[in-house]
Structure 1
Amino acid sequence: MARLPIDDHNAPLYSLGQVADMLEVQQAFLRRLDEFEVVRPRRSSGGQRRYSRADITRVQYVAELSDEGMTLIAIRRILELEQEVKALKKELEATRRLLPPADH
């Protein structure tokens, strides 16, 4: 049985207006997130922004950081650093698996 788009966390199913209503944020805020490359939703064939559930989760997190007074430039840097830490942790774990067990 084929997976449905609604089962895919990364499927771009939601419009800008739907996300704004869902999260109770201004549409202009969502547009600014795109402009500042903080949350980059995919585009429909007509050029409209389409958000996935993963994008919506990220917007929620960004909105929380913004409510705490952080600028979009600072938020973008935080997100970049979080991704870097995640990649480094993954690399460290892979390296640890290659090492022989340590004697205690």
Structure 2
Amino acid sequence: MTAQTHRTTKADRFDDDDFPAYTMGRAAEMIGTTPAFLRAIGDARLITPLRSEGGHRRYSRYQLRVAARARELVDQGTPIDAACRIVILEDQLEDALRMNEQLREQNT
């Protein structure tokens, strides 16, 4: 693999919604919250950040979108555990609706 190919491959990771590109501090800053909030939603199992070789939490863009949705609910007064459950149910509903649509398309 050439150096140019290697750089392109690494750069492509940043286009991947699941690539854990963001540190806890940067992730908290991006969604306007604190690292403690990210730890709390991790403890509630809403998101599970990957760990760097040094053991530091790393977040993907997808996880940041999920965390931002939970933050919106908490900001509106929803307890954090309930907010996490709501986000999980919203995600499950979206998946179910997408699957229903795919099945309808297959049957037409």
Q: What interval of TM-score do these two structures reach, taking the shorter chain for normalisation? A: 0.7 to 0.9
Between structures 1 and 2, the one with greater helix share:
2
Structure 1 gaps, min length 5? none
**TM-score (structure 2 length as normaliser):** 0.78
Residues 1:72 and 2:58 are matched in the alignment: no
1:60 is matched with which residue?
68
Identical residues among aligned pairs (%): 32
* Bigger CA radius of gyration: 1
For the aligned residue pairs, the C-alpha RMSD in angstroms reads: 1.8
SS of the residue aligned with 2:46?
coil
Alpha carbons of 1:22 and 1:83: their partners in 2 closer, same or farther (altered >3 Å)? closer
Q: Indicate the residue corresponding to 1:48 in structure 2.
A: 56
Q: Which residue of 2 aligns with 1:10?
A: 18
Residues 24 and 92 (structure 1 numbering): CA distance in 2 closer, same or farther, change over 3 Å?
Answer: closer
Aligned residue pairs total 100
| TM-score when normalising by structure 1 | 0.81
> Which one-letter code corresponds to 2:102 in the other structure?
A
Kept in 2: contact 1:9–1:52 (CA 8 A): yes
One-letter code aligned to 1:88: A
Counterpart in the other structure of 1:97: 105
